[in-house]
Amino acid sequence: MAIGTVKFFNLDRGYGFITNEAGGPDAFVHITAVERAGLGSIKEGQKLSYELETGKNGKTSAVNLADAS
């Protein structure tokens, strides 16, 4: 699992981005992944562990989120 910090998350729009501590591109995160993890919401600066998954549309997003604080 990757570890990263929430760079941005807009609850109204239902998406945001996580910056990976190991470097590389930021990971897109959708509200459905947050809800599936039982987190309710995530906040800028929060540390999370996550996995990357490629969807049917070919885009990569963060899934299996867990608080890593």
Backbone angles phi, psi at 30, to 5 degrees: -105, 155
**CA triple 16-58-54, angle to 5 deg:** 65
- Per-residue pLDDT, averaged over 44-62, amounts to 94
pTM of the entire predicted model: 0.92
CA dist 29 and 52 (Å) reads: 10
**26: CATH:** 2.40.50.140
- Counted domains in the chain: 1
Q: 2-38: per-residue pLDDT in tens?
A: 999 999 999 999 999 999 999 999 999 999 999 999 9
CA dihedral 42, 43, 48, 54 (to 10 degrees): 60
Residue 23: give the domain boundaries: 2-67
